[in-house]
Amino acid sequence: MATINFGGVLEQVVTREEFPMEKAREVLKNEVIAVIGYGVQGPGQALNLKDNGFNVIVGQRKNSKTWDKAVADGWVPGETLFDIEEAAQKGTIIQFLLSDAGQITLWPTLKQYLTPGKALYFSHGFGITYKEQTGIIPPADVDVILVAPKGSGTSLRRLFLAGQGLNSSFAIFQDATGRAKERVVALGIGVGSGYLFETDFKKEVFSDLTGERGSLMGCIQGIFAAQYETLRKNGHSPSEAFNETVEELTQSLMPLVAENGMDWMYANCSTTAQRGALDWWKKFKTATQPVFDELYASVAAGKEAARSIASNSTPDYREKLNEELRELRESEMWQAGAAVRKLRPNNA
């Protein structure tokens, strides 16, 4: 592992230079990787592994939309695409990539295929960390490992096709074979990680749930909505309000942050923008810090997990979800966004 200085804190990470693809293939040359679930993470990870030369099969329910998607992606029924139970039986590494609610439902079926020496792989620490609520307790004679790409499966695949990588965390919950670490690192390289940093299942899920509800999704939508509303009620047009709230951030400024950091982005903006950002960012931190502290405490106490399990397991979950998403989609701000996107050159 390489030692990297992260803002004065030394951290051990695994890079492709020290653990090249050839080494990953050698580690997993006798393994059959069964990807169970073809929804959010499944397609990107399965396709990247296949393209990188690993022995991969997909397990999915027949006569489902995701089965049809897998066929459209090139997986061949009876050869590389099987029913979930058959794929789980064939796999020596079972990548359990269903939704958290889906994992709870399938667990009684899946666990019978976890024979000694196999590896159970997750991309989220939810099922193991909240085992009292999920009932997911693996047998003691299998490796239990995790690789969590820091982004969606769609992003993982797009970056792979562009010759890039998406950073991932990895963790070992149970090392029954003595090979858990080489297995998990090889899988992390195989799915297309830029680099891998070590964590544990609990820290992964605590940071993930906080991030999703915070700066990655929940918080940023709330900030967008608040600024847009302030601009609109002060007479600004939908186009102006959306461009100043969302479009400039996502299309112009965030790429600069990704390139060289926030300070570099500030340095490449006008002096007026710099002054305002430097004057106001601490006010926003002060205002939101209590909310983030409350959020993390709720995650750590298992309250967010309980709410997710309860809501995602109801028969009308999809209908309620679609209604909430419709509220976002049909809001003036995101209707303005749809119009703005159509006006981008080549509808980028």
Residue whose structure tokens are 């020596």:
92
- Alpha-carbon distance of 325 to 130, in angstroms, equals 27
188: left (phi over 0), alpha (psi -120 to 50) or beta: alpha
Tally the C-alpha atoms within 13 A of residue 275's C-alpha that lie toward its C-beta: 3
DSSP 345: G
115: left (phi over 0), alpha (psi -120 to 50) or beta: beta
Element housing 13 (H / E)? strand 9-15
- Alpha-carbon distance of 167 to 302, in angstroms, equals 27
Residue whose structure tokens are 């990655």:
216
SS3 235: coil
Beta bridge partners of 56: 33
Beta bridge partners of 289: none
Is 124 noted as a catalytic residue in this protein?
yes
Among 87, 96, 120, 124, the active-site one is 124
Residue whose structure tokens are 């999704």:
217
Residue 26 sits at the vertex; the CA angle it makes with 20 and 27, to the nearest 5 degrees, is 95
- Alpha-carbon distance of 120 to 195, in angstroms, equals 22
Structure tokens at 177: 């074979």
227: left (phi over 0), alpha (psi -120 to 50) or beta: alpha
Measured CA to CA in angstroms, residue 141 lies from 116, 122, 185 at distances of 5, 17, 20
Beta bridge partners of 10: 5
- Alpha-carbon distance of 305 to 120, in angstroms, equals 21
Residues annotated catalytic, as ranges: 124
